[in-house]
A = this chain, B = another copy of it.
Amino acid sequence: METLTWKQNTLFFVDQRKLPFKIVMVSCSNFREVALAIKEMKIRGAPAIGIAAAYGMALAAISSRAENYSRFVQDMEKAGKYLANSRPTAVNLFWAIKRIIQLIKNHPELEVSSLKKLVLHEAKKMEKEDVEINQEIGRIGSSLINDGDNILTHCNAGSLATAGYGTALGVIRAAFGQGKKIHIYVDETRPLLQGARLTAWELMQDNIPCTLITDNMAGYLMWQKKIDVIIVGADRITSNGDVANKIGTYSLGVLAKENNLPFYIAAPLSTIDLSLNSGKEIMIEERNHREVTHVLGKQIAPNGVKVFNPAFDITPYSYISGIITERGIINSPFREGIRNIFSKLN
Across the interface, do B190 and A313 meet the contact criterion of CB distance under 8 Å?
Answer: no
Contact check: which of B216, B221, B308 meets A216 at CB < 8 Å?
B216
Is B193 within 8 A of A300, CB to CB?
Answer: yes
Interface of chain A, main secondary structure: mixed
Whole-angstrom distance from the CB of A194 to the nearest CB of chain B? 11
**How many angstroms from the CA of A217 to the CA of B313 in the assembled complex?**
8
Shortest distance from the beta carbon of A180 to any chain B beta carbon, whole Å: 19
Among A191, A212, A216, A310, the most chain B Cβ lie within 10 Å of the Cβ of A216
CB-based nearest B residue for A319: B258
**Chain B residues in 8 Å Cβ range of A301:** 188, 193, 196-197, 200, 212
List A292-346 residues whose CB lies under 8 Å from chain B.
292-293, 295-302, 304-310, 313-314
Cβ of A26 within 8 Å of any chain B Cβ, yes or no, is no
Q: Are B223 and A308 in contact (CB under 8 A)?
A: no
User: In angstroms, how far is the closest chain B Cβ from the Cβ of A213?
Assistant: 5
State whether A251 touches B295 (Cβ < 8 A).
no
Q: In the bound complex, do residue A215 and residue B212 qualify as a contact, i.e. CB atoms below 8 Å apart?
A: no
The one of B212, B223, B295, B314 in contact with A250, judged by C-beta atoms closer than 8 angstroms, is B223
Judged by a CB distance under 8 angstroms, whether A220 is at the interface is yes
Contact string, A205-226, partner B, CB cutoff 8 A, digits 1/0?
A: 0000111111111111101000
A210 to B119, CA, bound (A): 50
- Point out the residue from B187, B193, B217, B313 that lies within 8 Å of A220, measured CB to CB: B313
> Which residues of chain B are within 8 angstroms of A223 by Cβ–Cβ distance?
250, 313-314
Contact A219–B305 (Cβ < 8 Å): no
Given A201-B302, A211-B306; A216-B196 close (CB under 8 Å) = no
Q: How far is the CA of A188 from the CA of B188 in the complex (A)?
A: 14
A251: chain B residues within 8 A (beta carbon): 216, 218-220, 251, 255
Q: Which residues from B are CB-within-8-Å of A293? A: 196, 212
The answer to whether A212 and B292 touch across the interface, beta carbons within 8 angstroms, is yes
A212 to B196, CA, bound (A): 21
A306 touching B210 by the CB < 8 A rule?
A: yes
Closest to A201 in B: B302
With CB as the reference atom, state the residue of chain B lying closest to A313.
Answer: B220
Q: Is the CB of B299 within 8 A of A21?
A: yes
Q: Please list the residues of chain A having a beta carbon within 8 angstroms of any beta carbon in chain B.
A: 20-21, 185, 187-191, 193, 196-197, 200-201, 204, 209-221, 223, 247-248, 250-251, 254-255, 257-258, 292-293, 295-302, 304-310, 313-314
* 18 pairs from A and B in contact (CB 8 Å cutoff): A185-B308, A188-B190, A188-B301, A189-B216, A193-B300, A196-B293, A211-B306, A214-B215, A216-B248, A217-B308, A219-B250, A219-B251, A223-B313, A257-B258, A258-B258, A295-B295, A295-B298, A295-B300
Sample of 4 more A-B contacts, CB < 8 Å, known A191-B214, A197-B301, A213-B307: A190-B190, A212-B301, A216-B251, A219-B250
Please name the 4 residue pairs, one residue from A and one from B, whose CB atoms are nearest each other, closest first.
Answer: A216-B248, A219-B251, A220-B313, A190-B214
